[in-house]
Each structure stands twice: as structure tokens, then as C-alpha cells.
Amino acid sequence: MGRGALRFGGKSGVLPKPREIFKQPYKHQVYKQPAETGYAEGILHPKGTSRDYVPPKVFTPERRLKLSAKLPSKQYTESELKAMPAQQRFNIESAEMRRQYLKESYEAEVTRLERKEQKLQEKEEEQREIQREAKKHEQTRAELYTMSTVDSYLKGPFMRERTPEEKLLLQQKREANRLQQELKVKTERAVKLMELYNASASFAITEEKLNLMVDEAFSDRKLSEMEKVSASTPNRLDPMPSEFEFETNLKDVILGNANKGPSFEVVEDTLLGATEALNKEAEVSKEKKKEELKLEALEKQKKLQELQEEMIKEREQLHQEQLKQKKDEPTAEDGSKQ
């Protein structure tokens, strides 16, 4: 980032504000002194200034072009240009080209400024038209007799007083919000108390339990586990929980336990009877499922029995046809002998 970007707060890629080509008026205009400006009568003005409005000097594009890219003192013909050296001819043609481009840019800027001035005049004319239409507007009887005025606001209170029904409704809403907030705080406190109660099962509150926990911590099983862990390298340590820990955590999630004990939600459901109702619903669903399975089994057994009966009938018919064929065969042989 170069030094030039420091002027823009150290931000690169920010273009500077474009300069105006015509810093002074480019055409003659009728200037009017703005109202309520200047010096009052009897008030001395500073030295070197004027009490009257001095319009800025006009600097036309033609004059600017003559000063910045004036025409050469001598105009060369085509034959004279051809007779010149190549470098001199190139310089003369380049100067003429720059002069022509500068003239076109001045003309384009004049066109842009005139278009901008025209749009500004149209906008001002629209505003004046809107103001004229607003002045022509006549208030209707409804506006005259129903619209509020400043005097009407100053006579009475700025805000309408609530009716007794609205006051009662507002009081009930505030009471409901207060009770809801208290219930939320008490519920959070009960959840934390239940977790603490479940965790207290592993606290050593007596000397016998403390000795038991110390013996358990230094038992042969614990020492062997510690030796295995210390003998393992960091790459061999298994970050996944054991099967027992996974099953325990899954059981706690399913049953809603916290710290190896029932959570506040489970206790609340039990006290409110939701657990019992859920168990009853589960039993009813279980019995209903058993009845459905039993009916399906009976239906399948019935269809199987019907299928067996049909197979037996088909076999009997086939056996009878075979016997009939055997009886008909000797008769046919005797007829051929005769």
C-alpha cells in the first residue's frame, strides 16, 4: 500500500472525488441575491468587500479551450506536412488530436450540465405545482368537524385513559407474567436440587462410607486399570467410552435420569400421575397388539386349514380318476381281442 492511500484512511482501491471541469460558471445567468442576506443598514461591512451581491465571473468553454490548448500560430498545408520530418509531423498531428479531444470533452460536459439543470428545473416545477394544488384544496365538512386540532389536544389528556375492562385485563396479564416468572425460577431451582440429591448418593457422609470408598479406590481392580492406562501410549488410548458407560448413558437418556437418579421431570410426571397414565396406555396398547396378533394367527390358521382341505379334495378326485381309468383299461383290451 503506497502513501497515496493514507489520504483515504489507509484503504486501497478507493477512488478520489472527481474534480469539476468548470469551477466557474460556463454561461451567463441572471443571478438574484438570496432573501435575508447581506448587511443591514447602518452596519459596516469588512474592508475589501461589497455590500452588494457580486456574481461570479463567467468562464466560457471557448475561452478555456483557447487558454489551455490554443491554436498554433501557423497552419500547415498537406504538402508542408508531408515535407516535414516524421517526428515533427507526428508532434503536430498529436497536438491537433489532443485539442480536438479536449474540445469534445468540454462540449460533453456542457451537455451534461444542461441536462442536469433541466432536470432540476423540472423537479422544482413539479414541487411548485404540488404546492399550488395543495393551496387549492378545500376541506370537506367531515374534515372540518372530525379532524383533531392542536387546541383539542391541549384541552384534554394526551393519552386516552383505559376503561375498567382494559385495566382488569392488564392486571391479569401482569399477574400471569409474574406467576410464570416465579414458576420458571422455582422449576430451575428444583431441577438443580434434584441433581444435587442424586449426586449425594456418592458423597462420603460417614466414616464407614469414607473407608469403603478409599478401599475401593485402592483395590486390586482399580490398580490394575491404572497400570494398564499408564502402560498405554497416547496413540493406544481409546477415546471412546466403554460398553458399560455407553449403556449407562443411553439408559439415563431414555429414562430421563440425572446423576444416576430420577430427574425432576420424571418425579414431576410421577407425582402428577402422568407416568401411571403412560403405563396404563402402554398396557392397553400391548393388550390391543396381542389381540390383533391373536386374530391374525387365527385367520392364518383358518386359511391354512381351508388350503389343506382343498388339497385333500383334489387328491381324492385324482385318486378316483385313476381308479376309473384302471377299470376301463381291461374292458378295452377284451373288446380288441374279440
Condensed to tens digits (0 to 9), the pLDDT of residues 251-291 reads: 666 655 666 677 777 777 777 776 677 778 888 888 888 88
| Residue 237 confidence (pLDDT) above 50 | no
What local confidence, expressed as pLDDT, does residue 338 receive?
A: 47
Q: Does residue 191 fall inside a structural domain?
A: yes
CA distance 28 to 60: 9
> Stretch 172-188: mean pLDDT, rounded?
93
What local confidence, expressed as pLDDT, does residue 40 receive?
A: 81
What local confidence, expressed as pLDDT, does residue 126 receive?
A: 94
Domain that holds residue 183: 167-232+252-272
| Residue 318 confidence (pLDDT) above 80 | yes
pLDDT bucket at 81, cuts 50 / 70 / 90 = confident
Q: Does residue 78 fall inside a structural domain?
A: yes
Residues 177 and 267 in one domain: yes
Q: Does residue 338 fall inside a structural domain?
A: no
Q: Does residue 310 fall inside a structural domain?
A: no
Q: Does residue 289 fall inside a structural domain?
A: no
Domain count of the fold of the chain = 2
> Stretch 34-59: mean pLDDT, rounded?
81
CA distance 66 to 63: 5
Residues 174 and 126 in one domain: no
What local confidence, expressed as pLDDT, does residue 173 receive?
A: 95
CA-angle at 34, arms to 29 and 37, nearest 5°: 140
> Stretch 180-184: mean pLDDT, rounded?
92
| Cβ–Cβ < 8 Å for 241, 249 | yes
Of 73-82, 187-196, 268-277, 284-293, which range is least confident?
Answer: 268-277
Chain-wide mean pLDDT for the chain?
A: 80
Q: Does residue 117 fall inside a structural domain?
A: yes
What local confidence, expressed as pLDDT, does residue 182 receive?
A: 93
Residues 179 and 123 in one domain: no
Give the residue from 81, 114, 132 where a domain finishes.
Answer: 132
Residues 197 and 262 in one domain: yes
What local confidence, expressed as pLDDT, does residue 243 receive?
A: 59
What local confidence, expressed as pLDDT, does residue 75 receive?
A: 84
| Residue 35 confidence (pLDDT) above 60 | yes
What local confidence, expressed as pLDDT, does residue 31 receive?
A: 73
Q: Write down the residue that cell numbers 384534554 correspond to.
A: 156
> Stretch 92-111: mean pLDDT, rounded?
91
Give the residue from 240, 272, 304 where a domain finishes.
Answer: 272
Nearest CA to 54 out of 37, 69, 74, 68 is that of 37
pLDDT bucket at 123, cuts 50 / 70 / 90 = very high
Half-sphere exposure in the Cβ direction for 227 (13 Å, CA): 7
> Stretch 51-56: mean pLDDT, rounded?
78
Q: Does residue 330 fall inside a structural domain?
A: no
Backbone phi, psi, residue 262, to 5°: -65, 140
Give the residue from 108, 132, 156 where a domain finishes.
Answer: 132
Say which DSSP state 321 is in: H
Q: Does residue 306 fall inside a structural domain?
A: no
